[in-house]
Chains A and B, each alone.
Chain A
């Protein structure tokens, strides 16, 4: 179900955002801000880029995605549900004791989740492991890893960046969600990871800067990355935390807060009304 029409992808991104809001609202818990900032990127990945099969989630030849910023699980779950890995209604069980949809992604509980994540800084290493294995076995799959701009303050990311370079992982594409906000404030205030592009460049990556909410730019960047040889690619996506919901946009306080009933209604309306 590859969608190529930009308008259609934009509409799909709205559906993905609705799923995020539903998930976080249902049990009044979760992280809407960063889930919304990567919603367009995730939509392009799950509906335009990834070679995956919802009927065979463990298909060996599939592309892999590691959501290293695991607290943005609502966006992953929403994409998987909308893609048909499980019922969209299930999103309402997010973070409930009865649910398989854990606060942070669990590969053993949710079909389509390729790696358990949540403790920030760890995902790039496992993505490297998948990419190395793919090269060893001459597989054609690609590995995508989504990092936060705050997450890259973790030292392990840079250990892993060296590894990706050493093993020339051109089957690896890293995306940094540069929404410029982390829990305690802006990236500059808390612990600047800038210049992100120069850092990854010096670690041996092909770097592409894009607007992380422009569907065409996102698609183009992934297409360029596929043709990069002998080195990994890092796409730095300038994004807006809380993107798509007026009162959440660019507000650090929406990092890990659920909307009230009133806010939920406004949010769903802004996304074009409930499903």
Chain B
């Protein structure tokens, strides 16, 4: 993990422009948030392939759906709360049911949105999206991974929800890292615990791993960038190989990453799982870092969990 930090929305914007250069079928739609979602980078280079639909997320998703039927590959962006929340019905009926090739790239997910507060902090999107048939749900953790995902999802023939963040987080991977849809990335071989993380919490889990190592506690981190379909094999293997299981996410503990893992465990290898996340409450205003502490999704919360828990 490097010192350098970057928000995945920034990586998304850069990757999108790069993808636009390679593939002329790529079109981008936004709902008056191009500056914040960073689709403005694409818009500047390819104005004829950029569509600002205005503050009308439902229409944006529907328009994107129609475009796919004529061969376009639309990337539709807005904040997660307006994509998965406001436009849920359009994603359900106009995109997922007909299996249309829309890439919903939602920035500003989770409480790490910060100061805007609860109305804008989407902590239910993983839950809402993964219940829909036909969609691939992804949540990326750093610059390199985001850039890979942005291009990779253009090759999937069907709906994708890509969850992105506002908060700048450490660069985790280097250029040589290999990624594969559905395949979680295990970092470390520790057997004291597995920490399953996604998005902005992956770097927190890695910080905890480093600090715990100094105390003689060896954990492994599993970066789950594809939440649906989920990497069952890795989850079960880690449950078998490690003493403790923890999930950590900038999302409600209801229906999110922790729930998805619990579903796998319950069916295949019953084991205790501690879910760190937002505990059935709305977010609030504050600095992102302070909110992470407040809601208990930092490296320190993992460490506390390891120290309190029985090994």
Given contacts A107-B69, A130-B67, A134-B70, contact A160 B93 (CB under 8 A): no
User: Which A residues lie within 8 Å of B94 (CB)?
Assistant: 116, 119, 122, 125-126
- For residue B75, CB closer than 8 A to chain A, the reply is no
- Inter-chain contact A115/B59, CB cutoff 8 Å: no
- A143 closest partner in B (C-beta): B66
Kindly provide the distance from the CB of A171 to the nearest chain B CB, expressed in whole angstroms. 12
Kindly provide the distance from the CB of B94 to the nearest chain A CB, expressed in whole angstroms. 5
- B54 closest partner in A (C-beta): A162
- Inter-chain contact B69/A115, CB cutoff 8 Å: yes
1/0 contact string of A95-122 vs chain B (CB within 8 Å):
0000000000011100000111011011
- Inter-chain contact B63/A107, CB cutoff 8 Å: no
- Inter-chain contact B69/A156, CB cutoff 8 Å: no
Kindly provide the distance from the CB of A105 to the nearest chain B CB, expressed in whole angstroms. 10
Q: How far is the CA of A170 from the CA of B51 in the complex (A)?
A: 17
- Inter-chain contact A122/B63, CB cutoff 8 Å: no
The total of chain A residues at the interface (CB under 8 A) is 36
The total of chain B residues at the interface (CB under 8 A) is 31
- Inter-chain contact A133/B98, CB cutoff 8 Å: no
Q: How far is the CA of A114 from the CA of B53 in the complex (A)?
A: 23
- Inter-chain contact A130/B70, CB cutoff 8 Å: yes
- Inter-chain contact B61/A116, CB cutoff 8 Å: no
Identify which of A60, A139, A160 contacts B63 (C-beta below 8 A). A160
Give the interface SS of chain A, mostly helix, strand, loop or mixed: helix
Given contacts A156-B58, A160-B59, contact A126 B93 (CB under 8 A): no
User: Which B residues lie within 8 Å of A124 (CB)?
Assistant: 62
1/0 contact string of A48-71 vs chain B (CB within 8 Å):
000000000000100010100000
- A66 closest partner in B (C-beta): B66
- Inter-chain contact A133/B53, CB cutoff 8 Å: no
Interface residues of B, Cβ cutoff 8 Å to A: 27, 48-49, 51, 53-54, 56, 58-72, 74, 89-90, 92-94, 97-99
Given contacts A107-B98, A156-B62, A160-B59, 8 further A-B contacts (CB under 8 A): A108-B99, A122-B93, A126-B69, A129-B63, A130-B69, A156-B59, A159-B58, A160-B63
Interface residues of A, Cβ cutoff 8 Å to B: 60, 64, 66, 106-108, 114-116, 118-119, 121-134, 136-137, 139, 155-156, 159-160, 162-163, 166-167
